């Protein structure tokens, strides 16, 4: 049962709206997809029996072909940061998220957040519908069947997640329906306000579930900043997430090595999705932006491919994420691991990697997915040669991979849905002189 307060929230007051005074979030803010800025709304921290959740990806979907590198770079990080982590799929790979309308879903998952009946009937279907709509638009492969329930469980898990997802649903709707006509500064401001609220609650509760919600929510908000503001704002927010990430990681001793480093293979083995989402973002952003990772990671072992299975949303094979972390580690160590055997081993594994065969009724989509994965392979090879070997963009090996990525991009012509997954490889291929400058200096 929601309680009525004798004040109005600041959002409603500023907008001249008649606030209904419900706690923990007023109905008007929820219906408008806004963070309720009332005085100290309580954060409830009971943990549901829910699959892990990571934040959704969002990127500007466009109808034209890939543009030049400078155009892509303006929004490229939003294509790699804050990707969904709903958990591995053990169900039918042919399951379609389209089989059921959001309005027909029975929301029977455990609750931790009491909702007004009107919100139950109106707002939840809207948020669920926008998230599913967005997933369908950006997924690399068919989403696993547990995605829908994962969205609902996360939506109910806490005020933090409910507020973030309410804002996210509005952003997804604007991205798909009205990208050019949207005033993104409004959403950037709302993102800042919601992040400030999360920070104000940071020291009040420190249990495992709350840390997971806070990490996932903040990474998601960082993604919103990448999209609605700029790369610097999003990157800064990811950096500010590092203490929360470490506090959560400390609660999982099984993922730490004796050297006091987080093992990427153990994170994947134990399916720590929120933790891996941060590591993924940290390493891919370091590659794209030419920076060091926020933390060092142990990359001495590879996880079993079947333990994690997140390629359906990322497009980048999991093995390449590990290789990216290895390259980042070698580059950041300034020669500690920069020997011949190190880079030759990475090169050998990249060259010999083979995609897992897939059964698909659409041969064009299957070819497009292979093209995306091959593009990622060549992007990693370019990064390897330039970051570890210290060669420049004129090196024949770099030039060969650049040409291969260009050819692969041209083969994906029948659909826009794979453009998003080609952004990073295409950026690396198109901007290798700038990458050379970032990695090796003028």
Beta-bridge mates of residue 4: 22
- pLDDT band at 70; cut points 50, 70, 90: very low
Is 219 within 8 Å of 277 (Cβ atoms)? Answer: yes
50 & 31 share domain: no
Closest CA to 90 of 370, 301, 312, 390: 312
Nearby residues of 339 by Cβ (< 8 Å), 6 or more positions away: none
20 & 90 share domain: no
127 & 17 share domain: no
112 & 14 share domain: no
28 & 139 share domain: no
pLDDT of residue 110: 35
pLDDT of residue 398: 92
127 & 223 share domain: yes
Would you say residue 76 lies in a domain?
A: yes
3-state secondary structure at position 297 = strand
Would you say residue 181 lies in a domain?
A: yes
Please tell me the distance from the alpha carbon of residue 371 to that of residue 295, in angstroms, as a whole number: 32
Question: 192, 223, 251 — which closes off a domain?
Answer: 251
Mean pLDDT of 337-341: 62
Mean pLDDT of 321-333: 86
Tokens in use for 14? 């500023």
Please tell me the distance from the alpha carbon of residue 319 to that of residue 317, in angstroms, as a whole number: 5
Task: Kindly report, residue by residue over 162-201, the tens digit of the pLDDT.
Answer: 888 889 999 989 988 888 888 989 999 999 999 988 887 7
- Residue 262, H or E segment: strand 262-263
238 & 181 share domain: yes
pLDDT of residue 439: 55
- Total structural domains in the chain? 2
Tokens in use for 63? 């109808």
Tokens in use for 78? 């939003």
Is the dihedral angle over the CA atoms 423, 132, 15, 217 positive or is it negative? negative
Is 241 within 8 Å of 222 (Cβ atoms)? Answer: yes
Query: Per mean pLDDT, which of 38-42, 64-68, 245-249 is the most reliable?
Result: 245-249
Tokens in use for 222? 């960082």
Would you say residue 154 lies in a domain?
A: yes
Is 2 within 8 Å of 116 (Cβ atoms)? Answer: yes
* Lowest pLDDT segment from 49-53, 151-155, 171-175, 330-334: 49-53
Closest CA to 382 of 339, 318, 320: 320
Q: What is the mean pLDDT of the chain?
A: 72
Q: How many residues does the chain have?
A: 442
130 & 202 share domain: yes
Task: Kindly report, residue by residue over 258-267, the tens digit of the pLDDT.
Answer: 989 999 988 8
Q: Is the pLDDT of residue 1 over 90?
A: no
155 & 77 share domain: yes
13 & 75 share domain: no
Between residues 59 and 249, which one has the greater pLDDT?
249
**DSSP label of 255:** G
Please tell me the distance from the alpha carbon of residue 424 to that of residue 439, in angstroms, as a whole number: 17
User: Which pairing describes strands 297-298 and 262-263: parallel, antiparallel, or unpaired?
Assistant: parallel
pLDDT of residue 368: 85
- 150: containing domain: 46-251
Mean pLDDT of 3-14: 59
């Amino acid at each position: 049962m929601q309680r009525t307060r004798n004040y109005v929230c600041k959002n409603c007051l500023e907008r001249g709206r008649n606030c209904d005074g419900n706690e923990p979030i007023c109905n008007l803010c929820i219906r408008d997809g806004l963070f309720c800025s009332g005085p100290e709304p309580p954060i409830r921290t009971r943990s549901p029996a829910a699959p892990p959740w990571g934040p959704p990806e969002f990127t500007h979907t466009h109808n034209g072909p890939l543009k030049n590198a400078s155009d892509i770079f303006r929004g490229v990080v939003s294509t790699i940061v804050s990707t969904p982590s709903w958990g591995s799929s053990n169900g039918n790979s042919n399951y379609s998220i389209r089989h059921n309308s959001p309005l027909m879903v029975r929301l029977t998952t455990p609750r931790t957040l009491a909702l007004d009946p009107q919100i139950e009937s109106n707002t939840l279907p809207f948020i669920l519908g926008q998230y599913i709509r967005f997933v369908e638009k950006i997924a690399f492969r068919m989403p696993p069947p547990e995605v829908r329930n994962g969205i609902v469980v996360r939506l109910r898990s806490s005020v933090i997640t409910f507020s973030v997802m309410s804002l996210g649903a509005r952003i997804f709707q604007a991205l798909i329906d009205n990208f050019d006509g949207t005033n993104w500064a409004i959403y950037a401001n709302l993102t800042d306000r919601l992040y400030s609220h999360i920070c104000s609650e940071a020291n009040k509760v420190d249990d495992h579930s709350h840390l997971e919600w806070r990490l996932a929510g903040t990474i998601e908000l960082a993604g919103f900043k990448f999209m609605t503001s700029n790369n610097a704002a999003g990157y800064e927010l990811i950096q500010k997430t590092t203490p929360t990430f470490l506090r959560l990681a400390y609660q999982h001793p099984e993922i730490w090595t004796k050297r006091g480093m987080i093992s990427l293979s153990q994170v994947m083995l134990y399916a720590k999705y929120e933790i891996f989402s941060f590591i993924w973002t940290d390493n891919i952003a370091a590659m794209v932006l030419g920076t060091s990772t926020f933390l060092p990671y142990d990359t001495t072992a590879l996880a079993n491919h079947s333990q994690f299975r997140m390629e359906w949303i990322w497009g980048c094979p999991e093995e390449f994420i590990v290789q990216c972390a290895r390259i980042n580690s070698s580059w950041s160590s300034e020669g500690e691991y920069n020997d011949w055997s190190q880079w030759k081993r990475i090169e050998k594994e990249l060259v010999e990697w083979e995609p897992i065969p897939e059964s698909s009724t659409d041969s064009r989509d299957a070819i497009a997915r292979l093209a995306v994965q091959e593009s990622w392979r060549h992007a990693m090879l370019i990064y390897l040669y330039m970051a570890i070997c210290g060669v420049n963009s004129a090196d024949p090996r770099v030039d060969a991979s650049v040409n291969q990525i260009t050819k692969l991009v041209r083969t994906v012509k029948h659909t826009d849905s794979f453009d998003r997954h080609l952004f990073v490889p295409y950026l690396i291929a198109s901007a290798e002189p700038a990458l050379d400058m970032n990695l090796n200096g003028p």
